[in-house]
Chains A and B, each alone.
Chain A
């Protein structure tokens, strides 16, 4: 042991000297993660402190779990928690099957040009900014100028001011999410379909199976592992509601159904400067999300014997 120690030091030294370029290349990445990911994690301690800007993170006094106590006695926070789960679950229930159906249907299209054109179009909204999505929604659902109310009027229905009606917020939010992401999300299922063994179809054709039967009895079961993994990932990210679109679409009138944890954090923390309380809400969110993601990864490991990462 004693004699190997200087040897080891020398070996490390030689390694560093001949590979210094590798470590120089690694440095910016590591520094970036320390400064922009790990330093904020250190700053999370303000969730347990009475934070004041003047005293800074280290100088502010500890208050224990006071902020968490405040949160769990606050109707606003509990409402945001409920809304986060509701919006996530509804998006999952209505949004998750759409890309699978799209992929199955795209797979059945034999007309090459038609297929390619349709795919090009349905992938497009994924690349459009949230602000534009919100702009389209606000214009289309406007009570006076919007196409939706124009159609309702044509059908003899009185105009509805959709964006100030709490009961309409979730359908509009989830619908625009499906419109934006369903097409692009189908790619992963199409890739899984491309990997299905062609001999399965060949023998099915010999047995006289219809295309409808092959779609349900061969294609769908073959991509089931992909479906399950995608489902697990979605459940792991249950708390990750796209709050940017919510910030753009909600109004005080719709907070009741629209306000989620991150939008509450934004209003109270960044706009209202209640940093410590908002950081506590964020920490709660992050810990629950962490547990969900870890559970999802463990389940997927067991299921597919490959980790998601």
Chain B
């Protein structure tokens, strides 16, 4: 009996310490967001002097007014939506039928096609040949180029193909008896049964598009076409250059710090809005992500 009590007291301590540690980790994950939000609503002078900790100092919307009055902010925001939704749609139009075809047992050259796709996960030509290829194809500086050039990848194809392969054959046989062709089997039988896998792929595509900046920065020269992340990068670069001279420019009620923070907040908000919807697919997605060829 004595022993039992001792253990349970130890367990209690363990549970509390554990909770406190997780709590601290959680707070330190959350803190940078709170900090950035606080900076974005702060007075430029206060932010530039480093007095903002967790709440806005000299509450003002000046930074947001400055950001929202910038035409480039709006055009880049619009472009991000085009790349995110257009890109995801094009990706699905390639990935879904391709994965279906590769899941057919009687497909000619099935092993060859699968190996050809899987090989791209192991060997990659690298930045320069990809860049030169995009240029030679005339896909620089175009919405279409950025969308089609990153529409597909081996991981998503294998993920969906594996899911399709796991669908019992009886479903397909029943549809064949009713005279369905492959296109109908895909749209009427497979897709309704594949919601978790599709949600995962849509999630991956959208997150990659929303956050992508490197290739957008490299391939797009026309400012009218750049997405939000490239615009934000330009603003941050100005901030950084400025800091190299040791002083951050203070411009009336907003500063570079508050303006950058305001753009960051504007960029995070859509992610936060979508986040609760996508959250339930994390676990499923990760489990599906344990792909096997």
**In this assembly, does A241 line the interface, its C-beta being within 8 Å of a C-beta of chain B?**
no
Distance of A269 Cα from B132 Cα, bound (Å): 10
Per-position 1/0 for A12-29, Cβ under 8 A of B = 100100010111111011
**In this assembly, does A40 line the interface, its C-beta being within 8 Å of a C-beta of chain B?**
yes
Q: A19-B106, A150-B51, A265-B128 are in contact. Are A140 and B32 (CB under 8 A)?
A: yes
Evaluate contact between A139 and B214: CB separation under 8 angstroms: no
Evaluate contact between A309 and B293: CB separation under 8 angstroms: yes
Evaluate contact between B48 and A25: CB separation under 8 angstroms: no
Evaluate contact between A278 and B264: CB separation under 8 angstroms: no
Give the nearest-CB partner of B241 in chain A: A251
Give the nearest-CB partner of A294 in chain B: B122
Evaluate contact between B213 and A26: CB separation under 8 angstroms: no
Interface residues of B in 171-220 (CB under 8 A from A): 181-183, 186, 207, 210-214, 218
Nearest-Cβ distance from residue B117 to partner chain A, whole angstroms:
6
Evaluate contact between A248 and B233: CB separation under 8 angstroms: yes
**In this assembly, does A96 line the interface, its C-beta being within 8 Å of a C-beta of chain B?**
no
Note all chain A residues with C-beta closer than 8 A to B291: 309
Evaluate contact between B98 and A144: CB separation under 8 angstroms: no
Interface residues of A in 282-304 (CB under 8 A from B): 282-283, 285-286, 289-290, 293-294
Evaluate contact between B25 and A142: CB separation under 8 angstroms: no
Evaluate contact between A43 and B120: CB separation under 8 angstroms: no
Q: Which bucket holds chain A's interface residue count?
A: 35 or more
Give the nearest-CB partner of A306 in chain B: B292
Note all chain A residues with C-beta closer than 8 A to B94: 28-29, 32
Interface residues of B in 9-25 (CB under 8 A from A): 10-11, 14-15, 18-19, 21-23, 25
**In this assembly, does B151 line the interface, its C-beta being within 8 Å of a C-beta of chain A?**
yes
**In this assembly, does B251 line the interface, its C-beta being within 8 Å of a C-beta of chain A?**
no
**In this assembly, does B165 line the interface, its C-beta being within 8 Å of a C-beta of chain A?**
no
**In this assembly, does A57 line the interface, its C-beta being within 8 Å of a C-beta of chain B?**
yes
**In this assembly, does A111 line the interface, its C-beta being within 8 Å of a C-beta of chain B?**
yes
Evaluate contact between A145 and B255: CB separation under 8 angstroms: yes
Which stretch in B58-66, B67-75, B281-289 binds the other chain?
B281-289
Nearest-Cβ distance from residue B128 to partner chain A, whole angstroms:
4
Nearest-Cβ distance from residue A121 to partner chain B, whole angstroms:
5
Note all chain A residues with C-beta closer than 8 A to B28: 179
**In this assembly, does A81 line the interface, its C-beta being within 8 Å of a C-beta of chain B?**
no
Evaluate contact between B213 and A129: CB separation under 8 angstroms: yes
Note all chain B residues with C-beta closer than 8 A to A144: 48-50, 243, 246-248
Per-position 1/0 for B141-153, Cβ under 8 A of A = 0000000110110
Q: A123-B279, A208-B7 are in contact. Are A142 and B243 (CB under 8 A)?
A: yes
Per-position 1/0 for A34-47, Cβ under 8 A of B = 01111111011010
Note all chain B residues with C-beta closer than 8 A to A224: none
Q: A122-B25, A142-B50 are in contact. Are A309 and B257 (CB under 8 A)?
A: no
Interface residues of B in 124-142 (CB under 8 A from A): 124-133, 136-137
Evaluate contact between B10 and A210: CB separation under 8 angstroms: yes
Please pick, from A105, A145, A251, A285, the residue contacting B240 in the complex, using a CB distance under 8 A. A251
Q: Which of A36, A275, A278 has most B Cβ within 10 Å?
A: A36
**In this assembly, does B260 line the interface, its C-beta being within 8 Å of a C-beta of chain A?**
yes
**In this assembly, does A201 line the interface, its C-beta being within 8 Å of a C-beta of chain B?**
no
**In this assembly, does A262 line the interface, its C-beta being within 8 Å of a C-beta of chain B?**
yes
Q: A23-B101, A130-B213, A145-B50 are in contact. Are A109 and B18 (CB under 8 A)?
A: yes
The 4 closest A-B pairs by CB, nearest first: A29-B98, A282-B126, A25-B97, A26-B101
6 contacts between A and B (CB under 8 A): A28-B94, A32-B152, A118-B22, A135-B263, A179-B32, A244-B213
* Extra pairs beyond A29-B102, A35-B133, A132-B229 (18, CB < 8 Å): A19-B104, A21-B183, A29-B97, A33-B117, A35-B137, A37-B124, A37-B125, A41-B123, A127-B211, A128-B271, A131-B213, A138-B239, A144-B246, A145-B48, A191-B287, A210-B10, A251-B240, A307-B292
